[in-house]
Structures are given as C-alpha cells and as structure tokens.
Chains A and B, each alone.
Chain A
C-alpha cells in the first residue's frame, strides 16, 4: 500500500476525514513552499497538494492564476519543484501530490518526470486538463514508478463517465464540487449532496471534495460528504493578505488548524 492509500485507510479506521491543503509551489518562493508544507503538516494536514505554475491555467480562477504568475515570475519550474519535494522529504512523510497541467509534464518528458518525481518522494499527480481518455501514457508511466494518478469527476459527469474515471483513478477520486473553476465561494455548491451520493454509488474509493471550499464551516460540511476536503484558493488568499509579514507562516498554519477543527467538528 502506498502513502496515499495508507493515509485514507488509517483515517477511516479512526473515523476521521482528510484535510488536504493546496498551495502553489514557488509562491512566493520554493523555500517558503517547503516551510509551509512542514507547517501545514504540523497543524493537521493529512496530505498536501502542490500546484505547479502554468502560463495558461484554464481550470483556475483569479486567486490561483495570480499565485501561478508570482511563482513563474520567480522562475519556478517543474524540475525545481521536484527538487524541493526531495528536500521536504528529509523532514516529513506526509503524502505529497503535484497538481499540474499536462504541458509542463510533456515538456519534461512523461517517463523522465515520473521517474524523478517518484525518486524525490512525490506520491501522486492530479492533472486537471487530462481526462482518462488522454491519460493512457501518463497512467502507464505512473504505474511503473509507483505514483498515483488522481482523475476528477464533476457535477456534469454522467454515470458512464464516473465509471470511466473510477476505473482509471488511483489513490482517490477528486470530486469537483461545482460547475466552474477554482476560487473561494461563500457557500458549498447547490446539489453537492446529491452529486456525492451519485459518485459514492459508483465507487468504493476514497472521495476528495474540492473547488470553492473556503471556511472552517464549509470544510465541516464537506467532511460530512467526502473522505477528504481540499482547500486551495482560501489558503492562498490568506497568504496574500499576509504578504511580507514576518508571521505569514504562522498565520497560514493557524488557518489550516482552523480548517482541521472545522472538519473534525463536521
């Protein structure tokens, strides 16, 4: 069993839900990214998603677009992110998933990238612009190197598509809570309960719920429906609000701890 499966199964036996924070690697720089992963681990995260910046992030709203621009302006590359994961691995065993658009992986070379990422201690990949139909090469390379590939389902997915995603995904199923792009929202999307029960009826795999979740209260609501709660833009908004402040790390840590509390209360 790999680290992602282990995490979900031990949480399950403890009757708990996973907190999965997302931050953009290289925003504002890779040293901070490494420090944030350690801090979030300490504050109750169960798995961390590291965003890989891309020039044309079509699945992302303004918050993550801005974070990607900042990271690219600092010269962040997929290669330097993989190296950073290797250094993070000296300090923590928390599962790390890279969320990357497909083109940076293609430019790196699918096989080389999967080998290097696995060696560095990356546990899995989420590629938001890669449906299972186009993911054959990547899935094959990931299987060879022991990486998970997490595919996504959305409220617009038909039953047949949920089945398809379930038959290709490994680690967990990423459930996109809303019809749209990433970004903090005031409320959980309408109909998310029905959507999650529909997905449940097709799979026994752990379900991660993400997109739009932006408060401890919403995280608690999401935790009732899912096995893992993914929070991205809200954390980046918190970072932006603290830019340049000496205690940015601690503020983000406290925010993550409040999400933990929200989930555990949910």
Chain B
C-alpha cells in the first residue's frame, strides 16, 4: 500500500492512528465516517464545498514568489502559499467549512471546538455563525490571555468561549475538555476538531479538507515554474496545514519538511518537538508520537506560538516520519521571532508565529541551495493575532531581559 491510500479501513497509518476513545463516542465516530463517505460520493457536496471555499473563504489562495526574501537569503527561489489571505486569516477555515457541511448533513444543531492560538476557534465560530449553529469553544486560560483578540472575535460572532483551567491551561487541556463535552452531548453535537489529530476518521477527513492547499500549490507551481518544487516546508502543531500541503505531493519526489516548535531549546525540556523527541503513545484518541515521560504521563509542551504548543501530533505525520517519506525539524522561539521580523521587513507580510517557524527553517536551508531550486512554504496564517505578544517580547528583549 502506498502512503497516499492510507489510512486503512480502521483508520490506521501503519501502527499509528486508530480510535482510542470511550465507547460512548464510537457510534458517533462510525456515523461521521459513514456520512463523510456518502458526502464524498455526492457531487453536490463537492460543489458546495468548492463554492464556500471560493466565495466565502476567498480561494484559491495565491502562490506568491517571495522575491525579496529570496534575495535576502541568496539561494533557492522561495514561494509562499498564502493561507494568511483566507477569510479569518489562516488555513483553519478550509477544515471548518468542510466539517460544518458534514454537521448539517448529520442534522446536529450544535458544534464544539478546541483552540490554542484561537485561529481554529475563530474559524469554527465563523462557520457556526454562517450556518446558524450553536457553538462552544474550549480554550486554555493561558491561551485566552495570549490571544485575547481572538477571544473577542469568537464572542462577537455569537460563540461561547469556555476557559479551561486544568493542567497546563493550553491546547492539550482544551482538547480533553472538548472530548468530555462531546461524550456528554454527542447525540446532538458535532466536534469540529481543529487538526489532523484525534480518533479516526478525523485525521483523514481534516487532511482531505486541507489538501486543497497542496492541490492548488501543485498546479500553481507547475504554472509558474514549469516543474515541481524541490522542497516543501510547513510548520507542525497537530499537523493540518503541513499535511494539507504535503499530501498531494506524496507520490512525487519532493522533499517534505515539517517544522515543530523547539521552544526554549530541545535540551531544556521546554519545547513542542513531539516528532523530534517524543515516543509513540496514545493521546486524544489516536496512537502517535507523544511527548511523555517513562510512565506514560503526557508532558506539558512549550512554544512561543500557542498553535504549536501541543505534546501530540497527527498520526499520519508519525507514519511519514517512520517511513522516512517526510523529515521533521524544529525551530526555537528566538529563531521564530527573528523570522517573524524578517518576513515583515523584507516582504511586508506579517506571518503568524506558527508560520514564522517554517520561515525560520527556510532561512537556514535556502542559502545553501542552488538558485535554480524551488522551495514552497506554507504560510499558514497571518500575524495580526500575535503582534501584541511579539511587541511585549521584543520590548523585554530590547531592555535586556530574557524572553522567558
């Protein structure tokens, strides 16, 4: 079986994936799988999905030749896949549009979501408003502070934002709480999970909805360069923008590089390099690489970027790592901040801190590459949500304090 046909019928990518959830949720997962299967065979569904992506989200997103960044780095030609230009400012909405259409097919009047950076929460609140569906978003209280603007946006669109005070008060705990809500209200609620994580069929269907990124990028790069790129680079939190970009290229000889958050540094214990330093385990319904201690307790992740601050990762990435088809590297908070400033200065594009991780890795590899080589980077979101946080960090840095 080649990688592109995975997962298998039970939702496994090799040893990864599956459905490790309470029995209460199994029937809902089966229903979702069935409804998604019907939708995929229904041309009306495809047409409606395309319609909303075009007229509501604003797709296709451009593939932009970053000429000044290319010059500044002095190597490979760099293209940015501009998911930051989507409605609501990130790739997350590709998935929420798909899932709200499924919600409607299942006739469920309520959706819930978890959010870290707030981008998925906003994207869910957005489609919930558009389709007139009740929406509750779980968000760690630490993240609510880091991303206050997004909390306001969600509330403005009529969603409730529920603070999660448990554990690390970040994305991992928001996911726990969303799963508990789902187990309680599953008969009338759909859980719009925000990444390619969670139990089958979520990693598959979120990937399918996000693959529009890679399909467009493939067409666009062929048109502009007349050939496929040499390298794809994308940041990896749960891994949805990365898999969306990578998947349509899986059978091509293109290098695939995922970039995780190295936080304060891989040797500090304060990082989010799940694929880099984790081990296989079960978290949030799937077998995948996991940040855990020797007793199987999940560890708290750290990243400057709330969207990468997660000790889990989608099972398909674990499979791609072990099979060697994709490689995973990491970038520290400080490197991401530098890239955030670099892209703002030379291109007039303020990236999300998540996306800045991908740019930081490009800054490492592009100078050593040939001028004829081509890199396509996923610019997963825009940085408006982050400017206040970065302002604070840079001010402290300027005054000689540590950024911690």
Q: Residue A55 contacts which of B10, B22, B298 (CB distance < 8 angstroms)?
A: B298
Known: A58-B284, A156-B27. A107 touches B294 (CB 8 A): yes
Q: A185-219 interface mask toward B, CB cutoff 8 Å, 1 = contact, 0 = none?
A: 00000000000000000000000000000000000
Which chain B residues numbered 17 to 38 have a C-beta less than 8 Å away from chain A?
A: 18-28
The docked-state distance in angstroms from the alpha carbon of A102 to that of B172 is 17
Contact of A238 with B by CB under 8 A: no
- Chain B residue numbers with a CB within 8 Å of A107 are 281, 292, 294-296
The answer to whether A157 and B22 touch across the interface, beta carbons within 8 angstroms, is no
Do B180 and A103 touch (CB < 8 A)? no
Whether B184 lies near A106 (C-beta < 8 A) is no
Q: DSSP majority for the B interface? A: mixed
A266 at the interface (CB under 8 A from B): no
A63 CB within 8 Å of chain B: no
Partner of B184, one of A77, A102, A152, A180: A180
Residues in B neighbouring A61, C-beta threshold 8 A? 180
Complex contacts, B25 vs chain A, CB 8 Å: 156
A8–B285 alpha-carbon span in the complex (Å): 32
Q: Which residue of A lies closest to B168 (CB)?
A: A55
Pair A108/B296 contact, Cβ less than 8 Å = yes
Report chain A residues within 8 Å CB of B172: 56
Q: Looking at A101, A130, A152, A157, which has the most chain B CB atoms within 10 Å of its CB?
A: A130
B contact residues around A154 at 8 Å (CB): 22-24
Complex: how many Å from CA A181 to CA B186?
A: 12
Docked-complex contact B23 and A152, CB < 8 angstroms:
yes
Q: Is A247 an interface residue when CB atoms closer than 8 A count as contact? A: no
Measured between C-beta atoms, what is the minimum distance from B42 to chain A in Å? Answer: 24
Given A103-B292, A107-B281, A58 and B176 touching (CB < 8 A)?
yes
Contact assessment for A58 and B22 in the assembled complex, using a CB-CB cutoff below 8 Å: yes
How many interface residues does B have (CB within 8 Å)?
A: 36
| Residue in B20, B186, B296 whose CB lies within 8 Å of A129 | B20
Quick check: is B359 within 8 A (CB to CB) of the other chain? no
Which of A59, A104, A153 makes the CB contact (< 8 A) with B183? A59
Give 1 or 0 for each of B191-207: 1 = CB within 8 Å of chain A CB.
00000000000000000
Closest to A211 in B: B24
Q: Is A179 an interface residue (CB 8 A)?
A: yes
Docked pose: A243 CA to B21 CA in angstroms:
33
Is residue B125 within 8 Å, beta carbon to beta carbon, of the partner chain?
Answer: no
Evaluate contact between B176 and A56: CB separation under 8 angstroms: yes
Q: In this assembly, does A165 line the interface, its C-beta being within 8 Å of a C-beta of chain B?
A: yes
B389 within 8 A of A: no
Cβ proximity bits B360-378 to A, threshold 8 Å, 1 near / 0 not: 0000000000000000000
A158 lies within 8 A of chain B by Cβ: yes
Which of A61, A129, A176 has most B Cβ within 10 Å?
A: A129
A55 touches B167 (CB 8 A): yes
Residue among A56, A78, A108 facing the most chain B CB atoms (10 A cut-off) = A56
Q: In the complex, what distance in Å separates the CA atom of A180 from the CA atom of B184?
A: 4
| Chain A proximity mask over B328-361: 1 for CB below 8 Å, otherwise 0 | 0000000000000000000000000000000000
Chain A residues with Cβ under 8 A from B298's Cβ? 55-56, 103
**Footprint of A on B, CB under 8 Å?**
10, 18-28, 166-167, 172, 176, 179-180, 183-187, 280-285, 290, 292, 294-298
- The 8 tightest CB contacts between A and B, nearest first, are A107-B296, A180-B184, A104-B296, A154-B24, A103-B296, A55-B297, A55-B298, A58-B179
* Extra contacts besides A54-B297, A79-B295, A104-B296 (16): CB < 8 Å: A56-B283, A56-B298, A58-B179, A58-B285, A101-B282, A103-B283, A103-B298, A104-B297, A105-B296, A106-B281, A129-B282, A134-B20, A153-B23, A154-B23, A180-B180, A181-B184
A selection of 16 A-B contacts at a CB cut-off of 8 Å is A55-B297, A77-B295, A101-B282, A106-B296, A107-B296, A133-B18, A133-B19, A155-B24, A156-B27, A156-B28, A156-B186, A157-B23, A161-B26, A161-B27, A176-B22, A179-B185
